[in-house]
Structure 1
């Protein structure tokens, strides 16, 4: 399939989805907080 409307949205590459899914569904804390879920998110941001 050739997607021709990338101006409106762009299909997500499967590798990107797999890399990001833990942060969308499990590790979605605010990286600016002091809570443990935020610390996990902060560590991921710093590693990126």
Structure 2
């Protein structure tokens, strides 16, 4: 059985399907995270939740 192994990750990296789904759902929403209206506050919340999730995945380290 022949199997392809992709090694050129400097050019692009295949994304996990769940990551693509999460990105598509977020990109479908509008709102400027710097704005004070409802859509802006929702966008800011999503940004902060993403930061917390990434920080938790990376583990302890320096905080700014």
TM-score of the superposition, structure 1-length normalised? 0.67
Aligned length: 47
The higher-RCO structure (CA 8 Å, 6+ apart) is 1
Once the two structures are superposed, what CA deviation does each residue of 1:1-48 show, in whole Å capped at 9, x if it has no partner? 4222110111111111122221112x2422111132221111111222
Structure 2 runs not aligned, ≥5 long: 51-64
The answer for the alignment partner of 1:17 in structure 2 is 20
Question: How well do the aligned residues superpose, as a CA RMSD in angstroms?
Answer: 1.7
Q: What runs of 5+ residues in structure 1 fail to find an aligned partner?
A: none
Runs of 4+ in 1 over 6 A off after TM superposition: none
Normalising to structure 2: TM-score of the pair?
0.56
Determine if contact 1:23/1:41 at 8 Å carries over to the other structure. Answer: no
Name the residue aligned to 2:7.
Answer: 4
